[in-house]
Structure 1
């Protein structure tokens, strides 16, 4: 039995490490791609960078701390409390960044772990879930729904002049970008709702209703959300995809330039040796 538990702990830790690496690498790519391109000047992509920074911090800080506090290293009560507060703060930044992005999209259209013993479950359910996660998600869903309903109604109108055609082109672009960002919101909800729902069941029903393994799966899903967002950006948001490609081509060109200079230096060295031998 103990060996089975040990193997399960190792597998869980391995998944956490893989997710953390994915968070760090993927979101660092997002930050570099947007920071080195002109689209960072747009307010929406400032918010995307903010979300990427938060997800990057989840990978390099929150997940390692979660592994530590999960029993791999002995910590005092207050150290454990501090570590959990840091992890929750970083994940809350992700939720608030998504909420700010939804508000930005709305304005753009209308104005062209084992923390149970340390942190009370009532706090996780009422404040962490209901106030900081559920309400923002509901508000964002309503905002995006209103955005899509308004854009759909405007696009049904037949363009009568050049200004209306330009307006419809603008709305189509906004609809595509809003759809991509809503997908990020949907993935956030799918990743975090299982853990929040289990917390609710545990708080209202008792510890016998939820197996421990289910909690670990929920934690993995919540952490994996920070690693998924860069993939959504790459496949769904054309401007970020273009920024990725520009960043990639820049590094490839830099690598070829370095290799070329090294080759030239090697040839010069060989010529020098030949001259000295003569």
Structure 2
């Protein structure tokens, strides 16, 4: 990245990084305080928020170091690039886990609680993170670009192989889970709509159950759509670079694609806060509490000022 472009992207990365940390910390706090952490879906949402928080606190600083071409050892550079890849893979795995969880809620509502136990839930969360770590650091064991040097100016595409990004990450770890998630959410929406139509005028409890499932699924689909919109341009540009030898993809376009992937982690908390009722309610309580404290402080300050002004002069 050129020096002029760096000074444009650096403030944007800083803003996105701070927004990621604050927004996702708020989501984690909101789920914790409202007691929703006992529910599997919210457990996965918190795990996804942790991944997004790490994007702001770890990935963006590491990306900036890679952008400026910090001098480091070859395997040190591979390790930093692996961290960047790991959180994207973890996000895909957690989104898939959320989709499977919602599918089970609709497919086996009567035996769902016994099937998705706390122990199994945390095993799945741990597997998502461990699998993401193992698959993301494969380049350190040989699938990387051969530079034949002990040290290098660390840049992502200098060390990470295009074949690894395209064939393994995009074609194997991005597109198949995306197709599975699309199929699962289609099943969820078709099932909930069919159940709601069947229960019209009956007043059954199942009607309320399927309404909640439908609304929450719609919110989670929005998270999935944002993930696709923010990550697909970068993957497509990398694929064009790999296959289209006669097509030039400007470095600025790649940097914009990377910036868009980082922005995704800052947008997710906004979706949670406005579209998921429990998180929205917790955020509103925090807002009212902060507003009340601010008003109280202002009243106390005005009272102290009035007392000072009304004191008789000696």
Decide: shared fold, TM above 0.5.
yes
Deviation of the 1:228 alpha carbon = 0.4
- When you count helix as a share of all residues, which structure comes out higher? 1
Deviates more, 1:183-192 or 1:198-207: 198-207
- 2:164 corresponds in structure 1 to 123
- 2:251 corresponds in structure 1 to 212
- 1:276 corresponds in structure 2 to none
Give the distance between the partners of 1:257 and 1:135, measured in 2 at CA: 54
Give the distance between the partners of 2:269 and 2:246, measured in 1 at CA: 36
Deviates more, 1:48-57 or 1:147-156: 147-156
Relative distance call for 1:38 and 1:207 in structure 2 (3 A) is farther
Give the distance between the partners of 1:200 and 1:221, measured in 2 at CA: 17
SS across alignment from 1:209: coil
Deviation of the 1:29 alpha carbon = 0.7
1:26 to 23, 27, 33: 23
SS across alignment from 2:160: coil
Deviation of the 1:262 alpha carbon = 9.6
- 1:73 corresponds in structure 2 to 70
Q: Which runs of 5+ in 1 are unaligned?
A: 271-278
Q: Which runs of 5+ in 2 are unaligned?
A: 110-153, 309-314
Deviates more, 1:153-162 or 1:81-90: 153-162
SS across alignment from 2:159: coil
Relative to the length of structure 1, the TM-score reads 0.86
Deviation of the 1:204 alpha carbon = 1.1
Deviation of the 1:24 alpha carbon = 0.7
Deviation of the 1:72 alpha carbon = 4.8
Aligned-residue CA RMSD (Å) = 2.5
Deviation of the 1:71 alpha carbon = 2.2
Does 2:245 align with 1:245?
no
Deviation of the 1:172 alpha carbon = 0.8
Does 2:189 align with 1:192?
no
User: Number of residue pairs matched?
Assistant: 265
Does 2:140 align with 1:99?
no
Matches within 5 A, 1:24-63: 24-63=21-60
Cα offsets for 1:202-227 (capped at 9, x unmatched):
11113743111110111011111000
SS across alignment from 2:30: helix
Cα offsets for 1:76-115 (capped at 9, x unmatched):
3222111010111122111111111111110111121941
